[in-house]
Structure 1
Amino acid sequence: MGNRTSAQAKGKGTIAVKTKSGVKYIRDILLVPHLKENLLSVGQLLEHDYCLVFEDKFCKIFDKKNNNQTIPKVKMESNKNFPITFDYKALKADVVEESWLWHKRFCHLNFQGLKLLKQRNMMVGLPEL
């Protein structure tokens, strides 16, 4: 985050955004329940074939897959943020189960092994499983 803190993402999903040229999909949106506002990452948009142009206190987002059609044009606010209000609906959201995440991080170590790591304080940040 901008203030050097972090927030835990609880899931990942896809949103459908209504535009003048039809519906556009933005994948891998993170669900962070503790934030008051949703955040959309510039890097994430670039990875999904969108182009962003910042000039004259505006940000234009173009869809490179669809002849560079403009999705929104957003004016910068006094706090230097670019607030975007999409007419969207969530299509899918998968809740990330933390125990399975740690299982994968440790190359599919069995859950008894993960519990043993926790009991012996051998891993920082490992939650109760």
Structure 2
Amino acid sequence: MKNISKKLIIASAITLGLTSMAPLTSSVSAEPARVVISTQYLSVSQVKAMASFMRTSTGAPAIISATALGGLLSKVPYASVVIMAASLAANANSRAEVIYAADNNMRVKAVTTDYADYHTSYSQVTTFTPVK
């Protein structure tokens, strides 16, 4: 039985054109290269407004409402960034970073990245980092 399993793994590796015969437990897939699309700094007042919104709004209805509100407020400077960021309230890591920054009177650096070689509907990532 062990010989059949080894032969099956070797045959699969050769068929798939794999060049490395490293153990399956040590194989790590590399993430494609990313490029920065935009970098913006949100003021303390914008962060506090966003944190307030994040504290009160979570879930799918809140995301839909925030997206619609962002469209209505597209004429207000940075409103679309704040609304877009607030719509990510379901993302616990972003939510924690923004609430931490609001509680400590800090600004937030919002960095949006995408894959360097291609774009998919889910490939854009926005990260929030509290800054002084």
TM range (shorter): under 0.3
Name the structure where strand makes up a greater proportion of residues: 1
Bigger helix fraction? 2
Structure index of larger Rg: 2
User: Normalised by the size of structure 1, how large is the TM-score?
Assistant: 0.22
Q: RCO (CA 8 Å, sep 6+): is it higher in 1 or 2?
A: 2
Scaled by the length of structure 2, the TM-score of the pair is 0.22
